[in-house]
Amino acid sequence: MKETVLKKFEEIFGDTKDVNVYFAPGRVNMIGEHTDYNGGHVFPCALTIGTYAAVRKREDDKLRFYSMNFEKLGVIESTIVNIKPEEEADWTNYPKGVMWAFEKRGFKMTSGLDVVLYGNIPNGSGLSSSASLEVLTGYYLRDLFGFDVTNIDLALIGQYSENNFNGMNCGIMDQFASAMGKKDNAIFLNTADLSYEYAPLVLDGAKIVVTNSNVKHKLVDSEYNVRRSECEKALEELQTVIGINGLGDLSEEQFETYKTAIKDEVRVRRAKHAVYENQRTIRAVEALKNNDVALFGELMNASHVSLRDDYQVSCEEIDVLVEEAWKIPGVIGSRITGGGFGGCTVSIVKDEAVEEFKEKVGAAYKERVGKTADFYVVEIGDGPSKL
């Protein structure tokens, strides 16, 4: 990969003198969906696929970006002076947002950059190509300009820029998983206070399979923001009867006791998902510590049902992938992962059933929705690095 981006850099910008190459991973979330902006727990892991950048400082204040994933857009130019979101900046609004967020913290770039990017995360798959790009940008800015920030800061800066520069009200999970990834471990993160622990995700005799529906409904960004405001409103209503800071503070019993404070049936279901999903995530990590992979799988399945029925962020294509996965005896658990309305499912599949899984789920998906699914047997990798 390093050679590939360097070769492209030379082709686009003339030579590779003083060029550095960096990588930041994508992520998959095993369980704990739509809990990260509700003060709950999440359980993501970094992947070995992600985004690569070849970067060189310039003598002036020009920014020149080129993506091997969007070659027809060519080189997109701007400047480090007065950085603001612009429609014509297209995908470069993500790295520019990070630069803007650094500036907000008092870290100023002293020169422009030439950047060539290549991502091997499938676009629109819900495996966090945007967070990977944000963390990557933060990582190379820190390295090139000596900014004094930690990897947790890189996650927070990435989230801040996506919320405030790109207008997507995401929680902290995606950026945290990318910035803090650790090989063969998932991250049990309490999003209320950013306390976390690494939990080994060593699945003896089983693999993590990500299935890409190759569908991304337009709903994902707008509905994501709607879900977030529904949960905020439900939280306000609950706070009139119980002293909590987030939905993640409630047990299932407490929720059932106080839910009548929520004055709208839809908001009750949204809040119920946030509360129950948080408790499922806590139990799932406990199950893993006890080597009870079967229980972990059951909790994954229950997570999907809740996301489908209470949170309503699934869609027909994803439901088909999950239903077909559940039919296969070697599947321990399967669920939607990511923001929803398309994207991917994540499944834990016994080694001997992986080929059958791909074959049968793929064929049924083709037959039932007329589309082709892609399958990735993924490996859990480390966080960002300079190559």
Answer for the pair 169, 314: CB distance below 8 angstroms, yes or no: no
Helix ranges (H only) for the chain are: 2-13, 93-104, 129-145, 151-164, 173-179, 219-238, 252-258, 265-289, 293-309, 316-326, 354-369
Three-state SS letters, 46-76:
EEEEEEEEEEEECCCCEEEEEECCCHHHCCE
Q: Give the torsion through C-alpha atoms of 130, 133, 135, 140, to 10 deg.
A: -170
Burial grade of 193 (CB within 10 A; 0-12, 13-18, 19 or more): exposed
Phi, psi angles (nearest 5°) of residue 351: -45, -45
Per the annotation, the verdict on 382 as an active-site residue is no
Three-state SS letters, 139-153:
HHHHHHHCCCCCHHH
**Distance separating alpha carbons of residues 92 and 130, to the nearest angstrom:** 11
Q: How far is CA 82 from CA 62, 78, 307, in A?
A: 12, 10, 41
Using DSSP, state whether 344 is helix, strand or coil. strand
Answer for the pair 131, 156: CB distance below 8 angstroms, yes or no: no
**Distance separating alpha carbons of residues 319 and 345, to the nearest angstrom:** 9
For 160, the token pair is 């801040």
Maximum separation of any 2 CA atoms in the chain, in Å: 67
Three-state SS letters, 270-288:
HHHHHHHHHHHHHHHHHHH
- The catalytically annotated residue of 174, 193, 204, 264 is 174
**Residue 117: closest CA among 98, 140, 83, 101:** 140
**Residue 51: closest CA among 117, 115, 2, 100:** 117
Q: Which amino acids are annotated catalytic?
A: 174
